[in-house]
Amino acid sequence: MTEAPQSPELILHNGRITTLDRGRPEAQAVAVADGRFVAVGDNTEVMPLAGTRTRIIDLKGQRVLPGLIDNHLHIIRGGLNYNLELRWDGVRSLADAMAMLKQQVAVTPAPQWVRVVGGFTEHQFAEKRLPTIEELNAVAPDTPVFLLHLYDRAILNGAALRAVGYTKDTPEPPGGQIIRDGAGNPTGLLLAKPNASILYATLAKGPKLPFEYQLNSTRHFMRELNRLGVTGAIDAGGGFQNYPDDYAVIEQLAAENQLTIRLAYNLFTQKPKQEKEDFLNWTKTSTYKQGDDYFRHNGAGEMLVFSAADFEDFRQARPDMPPQMEGDLEEVVRVLAQNRWPWRMHATYDETISRALDVFEKVNREIPLQGLNWFFDHAETISERSIDRVAALGGGIAVQHRMAYQGEYFVERYGPAAAQATPPVKRILEKGVRTSAGTDATRVASYNPWVSLSWLITGKTVGGMGLYPRSHCLDRHEALRMWTEHVTWFSNEEGKKGQIKVGQLADLIVPDRDFFACPEDDIADTTSLLTIVGGRVVYGSGGFATFEDVTVPPAMPEWSPVRTYGGYGAWAQQRNAQPAITAAACGCSHGCGVHGHDHANAWSSRLPVSDLKSFWGALGCACWAV
């Protein structure tokens, strides 16, 4: 053990610490000073370092892991909208989801919308279906409701159609389809065929939060990520996320030392046919790596050129990229290579990856790419040949758990055999190519890292379908490294974080169950009891709640879904923590038919009695009309 030169500010002891440091894989205690680990070892080694001002936290035998780092998270855009969104991430039945929706409609003031924007799939529901437009209109006749399902479709109720102004005279959008009735009127169903532009463009028509509320919203999103054990992320930019305008919120939070997630950000072009101009301007005004350990520039992407964007929608046939793709891409890659900016590139299919590699190899012959930490994102159907070509150019492959949400659609189109190595994570690792894991949240998959870890380990979708044979799955140590140590190459921070090791940034978590011993099927339900970033306790619950160093004001506005439902799985934890409240307990002698099932089976069936009156009253239940 390397001893601290001065008394540490924080010591955690009596833990079972998985360090991921191959020189010392397990420890009992750590000491932190100036935001870094200054000692890692046994209790007898670390505790004598304590001074009179050292804060000491007894871990009481709990498992400790390095903080999780998401290699692909749309945290900047997601933070601007988090307080506006009703999240169905982790909700197990459509009946529960619709009860949540109806309650939210009841408290959402005009002209605001109720938005369910990604993070779920119909396959997670017991009913295995989405709500119908008629069901949305029934629960929300006057309040606009926008429901985004993956990259494939959006469902709008009648009020939302009126709000966005879609009529029989609205022309068909490029790359999308407005489904119409026999008279030519929009029904409320929008399809991505083959790209999501129509879905994103429609969502962008909704009201936005004012700046102060966006600050609050972003803090709540970071706290939710901290609750799940996330301490760092690479932001992949995003559609309708303009630089620098839409970065003002995150920049202010960084300047005020209010970030609780370490964030590296990539710049994402927003202008078709003007991509080269964007990157020429940005390479003049921004410097790669500018910033600090909490907020730093990470290069270009994930959109480099619009002609190379092969959005995955496995309900549709694979799109062929246009013939101008190579020319457009070469112009941008040359600008980036000349300025020594790494890049990330969205690519779902091997056909797109192969064509992009032709461009990268051509540029490499004149401007060597070695040393640039560039990589492909997603890469679901990448071939062995393409993996070898990526390796030869010194690139990487960042995978996300999109197949956990869309695996059923992939199998339906391509068959179970094709799905067995989609993406071929184990093979990429065997070939020695840099690879790591993330979510691609918030509009496709959920931001919950444990769902991704579960997918890597079990090979199952969130709907329970087995995608991969055991030989293609990772063991728990491999999966954990994919979410910690391996991610650091993708932000050029190797050796700085990702392990619990002397000299590295002091980021760690205490999960609520032993990651290495709990049943596989329980991994996805994990949360954090204690999350530390830079030695600061950014989240604590249970016995660790009193150690929190960060206080986040209540979610704004006061009708925000975050106030009622919390984040991923919070609704389930809340109801499971309460004694069951049946129809008889609330004064009913009958089942409540407000939305088709009785109190004992409703989302609210285990809510505290104090919450039931407002919940069922909002749904129009006569039992509470007193």
Q: Which amino acid is at 155?
A: I
- HEC string of 445-505 equals CCCCHHHHHHHHHHCECCCCCECCCHHHCCCHHHHHHHCCHHHHHHHCCCCCCCCCCCCCE
Domain ranges across the chain: 578-624
Cα(526)–Cα(532) distance, rounded to whole angstroms? 17
Residue range 80-105: mean pLDDT, rounded: 97
Q: Per-residue pLDDT for 124 more than 90?
A: yes
pLDDT at 433: 98
Quick one: what percent of the chain has pLDDT higher than 70?
90
Comparing 608 with 514, which gets the higher pLDDT?
514
pTM above 0.85?
Answer: yes
Backbone angles phi, psi at 101, to 5 degrees: -60, -45
Q: pLDDT tens digit string along 448-468? A: 999 999 999 999 999 999 999
Residues 6 or more apart in contact with residue 578 via CB below 8 angstroms = 606, 607, 608
- Taking alpha carbons only, the member of 442, 467, 345, 411 closest to residue 150 is 442
Q: pLDDT tens digit string along 164-199? A: 999 999 999 988 999 999 999 999 999 998 888 899
Q: pLDDT tens digit string along 497-531? A: 999 999 999 999 999 999 999 999 999 999 999 99
pLDDT at 5: 56
Q: pLDDT tens digit string along 541-574? A: 999 999 999 999 999 999 999 999 999 977 656 6
pLDDT at 587: 43
Record the tokens describing residue 525, joined without a space. Answer: 């339900």
Cα(50)–Cα(47) distance, rounded to whole angstroms? 6
DSSP 59: -
Strand partners, 13: 58
Task: Tell me if 295 sits within 8 A of 263, measured CB to CB.
Answer: yes
pLDDT at 601: 36
Q: How many other CB atoms are there within 10 angstroms of residue 465's CB atom?
A: 17
pLDDT at 608: 42
Task: Tell me if 369 sits within 8 A of 332, measured CB to CB.
Answer: no
Residue range 32-44: mean pLDDT, rounded: 98
DSSP 9: S
Q: Per-residue pLDDT for 610 more than 50?
A: no
Q: pLDDT tens digit string along 45-72? A: 999 999 999 999 999 999 999 999 999 9
Q: How big is the CA angle at 521 (ends 488 and 472), to the nearest 5 degrees?
A: 55
Cα(499)–Cα(65) distance, rounded to whole angstroms? 8
Q: How many other CB atoms are there within 10 angstroms of residue 1's CB atom?
A: 16
Q: Which amino acid is at 80?
A: L
Helix (H, G, I), strand (E, B) or coil at 325: helix
Tokens 């972003």 sit on residue? 218
Cα(353)–Cα(359) distance, rounded to whole angstroms? 10
Tokens 């949540």 sit on residue? 100
- Taking alpha carbons only, the member of 248, 265, 242 closest to residue 70 is 265
Mean pLDDT, the chain, integer: 92
Cα(614)–Cα(618) distance, rounded to whole angstroms? 6
Q: pLDDT tens digit string along 217-246? A: 999 999 999 999 999 999 999 988 999 999
Residue range 318-323: mean pLDDT, rounded: 95
β-bridge pairing 16-18 and 26-27? antiparallel
Q: pLDDT tens digit string along 463-472? A: 999 999 999 9
